[in-house]
Chains A and B, each alone.
Chain A
């Protein structure tokens, strides 16, 4: 099945700086890559997603890039704010087969320092 590795596990940035979280996946057939943000005491919330026919997608201060050749995708947060502090999870899913479920990375604890 799919295997997703996520780095770094913790990330601290100064308010206003950019943050980058990287993920690699193992199944070259995977075609859907969502990112989730989990705040303390809450469930993961979808913040952005990208499909394999697109190389980059942007939504205000958040962007995701996908490199299918290298099998990695990244989350970029610009002009970080304290409310961006949370755990971020990447995920991937292959298009078919019995293992056709979202496989999550291990998470990145992002702390934005004021």
Chain B
């Protein structure tokens, strides 16, 4: 058990809808990362927060947004959903935001857009 909690585990929704994915980092970790994993794209970095502040952005679409709250949990908001957004979304946390401290992943949210 990595100590990173993601909810919900599964999400099925229709095109055009909006969903929110939630992540609670490991106790003591200040940095949260969001990754998208689809069959043909591997693990794609979306965005990173450190202690409530956005630290880095990857290939995150404008329809997607995220935030990290004072209690350090994070939410990833996906809007105007398209079929191609169907994927596994992982949250990871690390003690620092330096990138070379180990990342600990949650078990993901499987999003299916119909």
Residues of B within 8 A of A95 (CB): 100
Contact A45 B2 (CB under 8 A): yes
Residues of B within 8 A of A (CB): 2, 4, 33, 42-43, 45, 48, 56, 58, 90, 92, 98-100, 102-108
- In Å, the complex CA distance between A106 and B104 comes to 19
With A43-B108, A101-B56 as contacts: A93 and B100 at CB distance below 8 Å:
yes
Interchain Cβ contacts under 8 Å between A and B, 7 examples: A43-B2, A43-B90, A44-B43, A89-B43, A103-B45, A104-B43, A106-B42
- Any chain B CB within 8 A of the CB of A46? yes
- Any chain B CB within 8 A of the CB of A86? no
Contact-residue bracket for chain A? 20 to 34
Contact B48 A43 (CB under 8 A): no
Residue of B at shortest CB range from A105? B42
Contact B90 A49 (CB under 8 A): no
Q: Which of A36, A44, A100 is B56 in contact with, Cβ under 8 Å?
A: A100
Within 8 A of B (CB), among A17-65: 31-32, 34, 36, 41-46, 49, 51
- In Å, the complex CA distance between A32 and B99 comes to 9
